[in-house]
Structure 1
Amino acid sequence: MRVKTFLLAAVFSLAAGLAHSAGLKSFDIPADPDGPMLKAVQWSPCATPDGEIKAGPFLLPGVRDCPIEGEKRPLVVISHGFGGTNLSHHDTAEALANAGFVVVAINHPDDTAASLEKQHSLKALISRPTDVKRAIDFMLASSPDATRIDPNAIGFFGFSRGGYTGLVLAGANPDFQALRSPCQDQTGVTCPPVNQNVFPKVALQHDQRIKAFVIADPLSSVFSAPDSVQNVTAPIQMWGSQYGGDGVSPESLQTVVINLSVKPDFHLVPNSEHFAFLTVCPTELAKSLPELCVDRPGFDRAAFHQDLNKKMAAFFKAYL
């Protein structure tokens, strides 16, 4: 994929807010034999009225460290795209928390914006599913809120490389020989193959504890073979941009949709490009990062996210 860096981390730091009485916590998931420390942010239902948190150009409603309201809350884990952060989809996390979910978003150490030296790492395609597995392990066993979470009601949302991560967790087995090196072709179709020696020879992490998946514009060229997704049987809500970009091809996504044995709840987003799934940028950020923040003429990212978040919450409620 063409290298992009989602620099919202620089202006968000680790502060974010939540509308309509929801709490927010930031914490570290400790390193263990399977991987390094993970930076995490948690949103959850909260009975305390909202305050406001100023973070760079953002003024966001929220309550810091608010106790989770309610019992046996379903858990949703969010996986960002290449060069993203655990706040790349904060509006979606807020909406899900408002709908009654505990939401945890992590930074993937091998390709997050906070680790610039790893921006070119393809090894993240190996480590990402394990990162999510470790996050779930922590939330169910070591988190102070573990007793508030229903271990039998776990969902996942991932965008771009995060969507790839979700497909692997659901049982898919990628063909890395189909992966292309960065080049001028935005779809990546005509770019040269990547060096296969960069991929460790290890089994990828699948996780049957995750009962439902929302996948948005995934890196899908590595799942072009029909048998690569034959083991995926969990319910999936799939979202695709009309024009793709950043190495994501709408055609390769359609191939995955066709090859899935259990047909997903598929939504094609008209007039959209790849980064439309990122949170809405304020004016200041849109000026500095137009390639991530500015959409095609006539496309309303804010209105689209209202629809995305509403349908995602309904999907998770149906299956969790």
Structure 2
Amino acid sequence: MTFCTTPDWRHPLCRLVLAACCLGGTAAHAAGVSFINVPAGPDGPALRGAVWSPCSATAERLVLAPLVIEGTRDCPVNGTQLPLVLVSHGSGGSALGHHDTAAALADAGYVVAAINHPGDSFQDANRQGHLSAFATRPVDMKRLADYMLGTWPQRAQLDAGKVGFFGYSRGGYTGLVALGAVPDWTLRPDLCPPLSTRPLCGEIRRNEIPATPAPDPRIRAAVIVDPLSVFDAKGLGKVSTPVQLWASELGGDGVTLPSVQAARDGLPQPPDWHVAAAAGHFAFLAPCSPALADAAPDICRDAPGFDRAAFHQAFNAQVVGFFQRHLQRTDASAD
């Protein structure tokens, strides 16, 4: 392996640490997989997405070309008072982009809900280059939480007091805003070189910045992965929720290690910090099927020597462990 998830990520004992993390989690359930439609409303259009949940059946291989995921389609949800984790994908991504992490959480007893962000997904990119896409993303996630806790047919099996958030890239930005962060688009001039014609760059220059949505106080813990960060200590000053923060060493797609480090340093409470050594930005997406690797080589190609499948075993174990500490063990008797 050429990666480490501990803060001292170049230490020669990293492999031993990762091995211990991987051995620490055992799957108690299979992952059920179903698909949801959140109706359109005053706050936005309809949202399409997927839900992973604990399931007593054996997992199967589901081919959703070009993706191949493991799970049992429409399996009855197994359990009560289950924690809920909301997932926000990156720019141009989809609800299925982190399906292996979602399945790992479902195996550990979580319900995981993800949606395609309107205007900024693989199906609909009409606002991808505008700041409005950043303004509506946190609203999308609030609407998803409202649906899961208030309308989803199995809502009685959820614990509304145990809501977590997983966000990657722009989804990491989304998660920080949902926790109360306020962006400052002037902090990242590297995103908008002087001759850039990207619409959002013109909006920044003209100070046409959309209002920042209100935070969602229901979120009790958040895993923020390689976020597109436009935050400093001032903007992060009201974030009090526990955060596990991940960065890729090599970055990409507008995300840099220094910018994520700046978010780490700006958080009022030190996050559970991890750097994935020798990893590029897209290494946090689920390992690619051969069909997806052919269709989207840019997001499936990793640096020489980097093993995405092995990395995800350790990554998923760390994500599950973080939520176990901050969502599952909330009572006074927890050890």
Task: Identify whether the pair has TM-score above 0.5, normalized to the shorter chain.
Answer: yes
CA contact (8 A) 2:246 2:273 kept: yes
Say whether residues 1:314 and 2:316 are aligned partners. no
TM-score of the two chains, using structure 2 as the length reference: 0.83
Say whether residues 1:105 and 2:142 are aligned partners. no
Deviation at 1:122, TM superposition (A): 2.5
User: Any idea what SS the aligned residue of 1:284 has?
Assistant: helix
Say whether residues 1:264 and 2:264 are aligned partners. no
Which residue of the other structure, out of 39, 48, 53, is the alignment partner of 1:39? 48
Counterpart Cα distance in 2 of 1:199 and 1:146: 39
Which residue of the other structure, out of 78, 83, 98, is the alignment partner of 2:87? 78
CA contact (8 A) 1:20 1:50 kept: no
CA contact (8 A) 1:84 1:112 kept: yes
Q: CA RMSD in A?
A: 2.3
Say whether residues 1:228 and 2:235 are aligned partners. yes
Deviation at 1:120, TM superposition (A): 2.4
Q: % of aligned pairs identical?
A: 45
Counterpart Cα distance in 1 of 2:224 and 2:159: 22
CA contact (8 A) 2:69 2:100 kept: no
CA contact (8 A) 2:29 2:108 kept: no
Counterpart Cα distance in 2 of 1:142 and 1:59: 29
Q: Which residue of 1 aligns with 2:281?
A: 274
Cα distance change, pair 180–109 in 1 and its aligned pair in 2 (3 A): farther
Q: Deviations over 1:119-155 (max 9, x none)?
A: 3232111000011011001111111011000000000
Deviation at 1:65, TM superposition (A): 1.4
Aligned residues: 296
CA contact (8 A) 2:172 2:225 kept: yes
Q: Which residue of 2 aligns with 1:137?
A: 146
Q: Which residue of 1 aligns with 2:23?
A: none
RCO comparison, higher one (Cα < 8 Å, 6+) = 2
Counterpart Cα distance in 2 of 1:259 and 1:33: 34
Q: Deviations over 1:164-185 (max 9, x none)?
A: 0011011100012335586799
Q: Which residue of 2 aligns with 1:289?
A: 296
Q: Which residue of 1 aligns with 2:224?
A: 215
Once the two structures are superposed, the pairs formed by residues 102-181 of structure 1 within 5 Å of their partners are: 102-180=111-189
Q: Amino acid of the residue matched to residue 61 of structure 1?
A: E
Deviation at 1:57, TM superposition (A): 4.5
Say whether residues 1:195 and 2:203 are aligned partners. yes
Deviation at 1:40, TM superposition (A): 1.5
**Structure 1 gap ranges (5+):** 1-17
Which residue of the other structure, out of 10, 23, 28, is the alignment partner of 2:32? 23
Counterpart Cα distance in 2 of 1:240 and 1:227: 21
Q: Deviations over 1:150-209 (max 9, x none)?
A: 000000000000000011011100012335586799xx9xxx954235856434231111
Q: Amino acid of the residue matched to residue 272 of structure 2?
A: D
CA contact (8 A) 1:28 1:37 kept: yes
CA contact (8 A) 1:24 1:41 kept: yes
**Structure 2 gap ranges (5+):** 1-26, 328-335
Cα distance change, pair 279–84 in 1 and its aligned pair in 2 (3 A): same
Q: Which residue of 2 aligns with 1:92?
A: 101
TM-score of the two chains, using structure 1 as the length reference: 0.87
CA contact (8 A) 1:30 1:38 kept: yes
Q: Which residue of 1 aligns with 2:22?
A: none
Counterpart Cα distance in 1 of 2:125 and 2:225: 24
CA contact (8 A) 1:110 1:127 kept: no
Cα distance change, pair 60–256 in 1 and its aligned pair in 2 (3 A): closer
Counterpart Cα distance in 2 of 1:19 and 1:91: 16
Report the more deviating stretch, 279-288 or 297-306: 279-288
